[in-house]
Each structure stands twice: as C-alpha cells, then as structure tokens.
Amino acid sequence: MTAKPSSLEDTITTVTEYARARKFDKNSTARGLAISLSLEANELLEYFQWSEEPLGTKQDLESELADIFIYAIQFANNCDIDIPSAIQAKLQKMEQKYPIEIFHIEDDDERAKAQLKAKQNYKKDTAL
Ligand SMILES: [Mg+2]
C-alpha cells in the first residue's frame, strides 16, 4: 500500500492502482460495480436499521464508507467518469434546484414556500 492519500485525486489513483494490480478493472462490469456500490451503501444502512444511533463503531462506519467510495471510484473508472468534474457539474445543477438565497430566509413558512417553488421550477434533465 502506498502512503496515505491526501487528496481526492490521490485517493482515486491509489484505488485505481490497487484494482488494476488485481485485475479488478478487467473483470468488472459497470452493472456489477453499480450493484456492489448499492450493496455497500446498504451495508452502511444496516447499522441504522433498528436504531437512530448506529449499532456499530466509528471504525465499522468508516469501513463501510470506504467500501462505497472504492466501488464508486471503480465504477467511475469503468464508465470513464471524471469524479471531480462530475461532482462539480452536479453541484452547479443543484445550485439551480436549491438557490442559496432560499436557505437564508428567516421565516420558516416563507422558506418552505420558496423551497417548494424552486423545486417545482427545477427541470430534471434525466429520465431517472
Ligand atoms: Mg462492506
């Protein structure tokens, strides 16, 4: 294992090299990775299944979160997705859906109305 990654780019590189060395990149499909990503997210959810507070330790949660990110990175590599660019593009879309001014409206009712209106005005750009 290489030195502790200090950035998202370093983490992506570390996971990519780890997967490539084990030929995971050659033996994985986008479908398989998407399923694995979802399963890992559900493993995290299991810690909260019967309790508001997680039933596991912080290390348990860290491990499940790491699984999610590792599969997300592998999925991105498989689909030729640049994660920082994808996140940036998504945040720009979300700025339209959730304009920052709305969250600074003091009155709860007015803020709720503004949020609903912004949501209704937002046009989804995907079928899903
Ligand atoms: Mg797991």
Residue 6 alpha carbon to ligand 1 centre in Å: 23
Spacing of C-alpha 122 from chain mean position: 21
| Same-domain check for residues 6 and 22 | yes
| Same-domain check for residues 24 and 64 | yes
| Same-domain check for residues 65 and 109 | no
Indicate the pLDDT class of residue 104, thresholds 50, 70 and 90.
Answer: very high
| Same-domain check for residues 49 and 29 | yes
Residue 65 alpha carbon to ligand 1 centre in Å: 8
| Same-domain check for residues 17 and 73 | yes
Position with higher pLDDT, 94 vs 43: 43
Nearest to 77 by CA among 29, 40, 5: 29
CA distance 35 to 106: 42
Predicted TM-score of the model (pTM): 0.84
Q: Provide the domain limits for residue 65.
A: 1-81
CA angle 115, 120, 124 (to 5 degrees): 115
pLDDT tens digits along 24-76: 989 999 999 999 999 999 999 999 999 999 999 999 999 999 999 999 999 99
User: What total of structural domains would you count in the chain?
Assistant: 2
